[in-house]
Every structure is written in C-alpha cells, then in structure tokens.
Amino acid sequence: MFGLWRTYLHRRTYDPNSLISVDDLFNQFPPGLSEPTSPPVKKAAHQSANASTSLLMRWQNNGQTTKSAGQLNALVHDVILDPKFKIEELKSFNAEHAEKQTEQDTAEAFPLLKDFQTASINITVPSGLMSVIKAVFADPLSHHFHFSLFRLFHKVRSTGAQVRVFSEVYNSEAFIKEHDNVRLRGALPPDNPDCKPEKVFGALMFWSDSTHLANFGNAKLWPIYILFGNLSKYIRGKPNSGAKHRVAYIPSLPDSVQDMLAEFHIKWATQKGEILTHCRRELMHAVWKHLLDDEFLHAYKFGIVIRYSDGIEQRVYPRLFTYSADYPEK
C-alpha cells in the first residue's frame, strides 16, 4: 500500500519482521498524556553557603563539555543575572576548591549515605569480545536478526519511477555486498573444511564516549558498547531491548604517568601536550589490541559456528561495520 517492494539476493529462510507486532511500532501512554512523565525529584534542603559559587559550579557541571553560544547565554542569564549572584563573593574564587566544596555539600545534603556499608563482591565478566558475540547470537533476541538481505525500492505513483530506499543498516549497499561476499567466499577453517551450516555476516556497530558518573567532580568512565546492524533500528534503539552490550571500559591516563614523564623526559617542558596525546593514543590502541585478540581474528577469517536458542546453527563471520566515536578516540 506504500509502494514499497524488495529484491532478495537469495531465497530467504524467514522474515524477522513477521515477529514484530503492531504494539512494537508505536508508543503507548496513559490517557491524556502525550509522553512519559517522571516522578518529581525532591531537592536537597542543604545549600552551599556561597550562592554565587553554587550557581557558577552548576553551570560548569551541566553536562556540556564544550561550551557553545547557547551555554554562554546560559552563563549570563542563569548565573550572572540571577538575583542571588554577587560578584564580591568570588574575590577569592578557586575552581579546584569550589569543586571539592560542591562534592562535600552534595554529600551533606544526603545524610543517609553515611549509613551505607561497603563490601567486596565477586561477579562474572565476559572473557573477551567473542564471548559477547556468542552470547548475543545465542540469545532469543537474535531471532529478529536479518540474514536474508534485500534491496528496498519505492515506486513513485505519479511518474512510475523506481527509487532505491535505505531504511536500515542491513539494506545498505555496503552491508549487502559484505554479506554476499561472506556467503559466497567466506573461508572455512583448515580443521573443518566441510562445515555445512549457513554462512552469515554479523555486523558489529561500536560506540564509545566519555561518561561522567555524576553532575559534579571529574569522575568518569569511557565505555565501549557494541550493537548489531542485523537488528532493526526500531528494536536496537529501544533502551530496554537488551540490544546494547558493554564490552570494555577505557581507563584514563593516570596522573602518576605525568609525574613520571616530568622527571625523565627531556622534552617534557616544551612538548607536554604532544607527549600526553601520544600516551592516550597508545592506551586506546592497547585496549583495542586486547579486544581484537587471536580468537576474534580467527573468527573474522574463518567464522565461528554458533547454536541459536532454537537449536539452529550458523557460521557467523563478525565484521567491524561502524564505529561511532567522539573526538578523543581519533
């Protein structure tokens, strides 16, 4: 009815879209509401003794790491022009001291935190990137993965012209070509040259970005997430779908490294920035070298047989399809 039609590369085994219900395609809200509502957040009764410092630090830690023209407007209208803001209170202002004071004020605003106890616990974690890939393909969510790929077209009613439509990662030309390459020319391991399971292409979509742990302080993590392009964006984009998986945390460069380099590096005084950039780049590459280990490289070349939750086996060839990253990862 929308004038859309498909051409498949080969006879499909099944259509994952047949598993999607009407309820999966729209949001349901209570009567009278157009969007979800959140419970009101109770503000802490405690306030910093210096209101000007509190306003300034709130602007500094508002989640925007790069201050735009809009952020500059916010500084003027939300801080400087606020009736509680007094310029004389900032005569002895020190950013580091104010940061610590903000953390202390926040802790004092939640006295129940003092009643908590700390304890050591043991948890199981994935042993590598391949363990995550195996778990994902064996999960029931993999029934929504697209392996019988197609090109999507739209017929314009007024002219009869046929226009190529790109609506998902798996109907892009790059995806289709790589899937067909794997299906027709995917190598088999020397120890199992007669392996019969169907060859499929697993499109790995990586994403990493710095994540602050709180609205104050400098504590942060740098997680690497993985999603799969074989899955529809309508499912992949749902926060509660279980389609996003953390595979690593990139550590920050310790301050001790700077102290050590300052002692012995002969060019530290003149090239500190370049040296630290080099160290951070090497750290990033070291993390990826750990992830892309021998087991992954073997699976990349020869594929890996994975049994799905319904008992069907396929030989999956993982490929790094996209990597969405912020500037520091460059």
Interval 128-155: pLDDT, tens:
789 899 999 888 898 899 988 889 999 9
Q: Do 92 and 138 fall into the same domain?
A: no
Residue 208 carries which side chain, given as an amino acid letter? Answer: S
In a domain, 129, yes or no: yes
Q: Which whole number is the average pLDDT over 105-130? A: 67
Q: Higher model confidence: residue 115 or residue 320?
A: 320
By residue count, the chain amounts to 330
Q: Do 158 and 78 fall into the same domain?
A: no
| Number of domains into which the chain is organized | 2
Q: Which whole number is the average pLDDT over 184-188? A: 93
DSSP state of 125: -
- Rounded to the nearest 10°, the torsion over CA 306, 307, 310, 312 is 90
Q: Do 180 and 316 fall into the same domain?
A: yes
**CB contact at 8 A, 220 and 263:** no
Place of tokens 């460059």: 330
Domain limit, last residue, from 64, 94, 115 = 115
Q: Do 170 and 275 fall into the same domain?
A: yes
> Is 70 exceeded by the pLDDT of residue 123?
no
Q: Do 134 and 102 fall into the same domain?
A: no
**CB contact at 8 A, 174 and 30:** no
In a domain, 11, yes or no: no
Q: How far apart are CA 163 and CA 165, in angstroms?
A: 6
Q: How high is the pLDDT of residue 41?
A: 46
Q: Do 89 and 154 fall into the same domain?
A: no
Task: Identify the CA nearest to 59 among candidates 227, 216, 291.
Answer: 216
Q: Do 241 and 308 fall into the same domain?
A: yes
**CB contact at 8 A, 193 and 309:** no
Q: What is the mean pLDDT of the chain?
A: 81
In sequence order, the 6+-apart residues with CB closer than 8 A to the CB of 313 are 197, 305, 306, 307
Q: Which whole number is the average pLDDT over 219-223? A: 74
Q: How far apart are CA 241 and CA 225, in angstroms?
A: 14
In a domain, 34, yes or no: no
Distance, CA of 124 to chain centre:
21
Question: Does an H or E element contain 200, and which?
Answer: strand 198-208
In a domain, 9, yes or no: no
Quick one: CA dihedral 175, 181, 184, 186, positive or negative? negative
Q: What are phi and psi for residue 52, nearest 5 degrees?
A: -65, -45
> Is 70 exceeded by the pLDDT of residue 66?
no
* Bridge pairing between strands 313-325 and 198-208: parallel
In a domain, 15, yes or no: no
> pLDDT per residue over 19-58, tens digit each?
777 776 666 655 555 555 544 444 444 444 567 777 777 7
Q: Do 101 and 201 fall into the same domain?
A: no
In sequence order, the 6+-apart residues with CB closer than 8 A to the CB of 320 are 204, 206
Q: Do 147 and 264 fall into the same domain?
A: yes
- Percentage of the chain modeled with pLDDT above 90: 26
Containing structural domain, residue 277: 125-329
- Maximum Cα–Cα distance across the chain: 81
In a domain, 289, yes or no: yes
Q: Higher model confidence: residue 98 or residue 191?
A: 191
Q: In three state form, how does the secondary structure of 285-309 look?
A: HHHHHHHCCHHHHHHHHHCEEEECC
